[in-house]
Amino acid sequence: MVFEVKFSGFYEVDEIDKSLIINNCNKFFEKHNKKLKNIEFIELRLKDYEKEGLRKKFSVNSTLSFSGTFLTSKSWDWNLIKAVDSSLKKMEREIERKFVGKIQGKNKKQAREVNRRFA
């Protein structure tokens, strides 16, 4: 299965940080590909603001596309890697809340029905 990481606004980010971000996104894909079928891409949009001397504050907006559905999350931090990780963790929580809970609820309901038939 092909998984694509799209970047927007990462012009001044060095290759080491980009490779860390791609590695984190691939781990995210491997973890959630079994739960969510047909993950197509994740798009990361970066904006930096509040420049103070050598420091920059980073804002990361993430969009995950799978099976015609889009999930979004936002985060910000003074450290780029922490901002991306935070955005991915927020997306994980949303996946668990919206989709996995419903799937587990359906499985519990089916298990109860099977147990009633054989009881």
CATH number for position 25? 3.30.160.100
Predicted pLDDT of residue 109: 65
Predicted pLDDT of residue 102: 62
Is residue 9 within 8 A of residue 47, CB to CB? The reply is yes
Predicted pLDDT of residue 108: 61
Buried b (16+ CB within 10 A) or exposed e, 73-99: bebbbeebeebbbbbbebbbeebeeeb
Please give the residue range of the domain that contains residue 110: 4-118
Predicted pLDDT of residue 107: 59
The number of domains in the chain is 1
Tens-digit pLDDT profile for the chain (119 aa)? 567 888 888 888 888 988 998 898 888 888 888 777 778 888 999 988 877 777 888 899 999 888 788 889 999 999 989 999 999 999 988 888 877 666 555 656 665 665 566 55
The dihedral over CA atoms of 101, 103, 106, 112, expressed in degrees to the nearest 10, equals: -80
pTM over 0.85: no
Predicted pLDDT of residue 45: 92
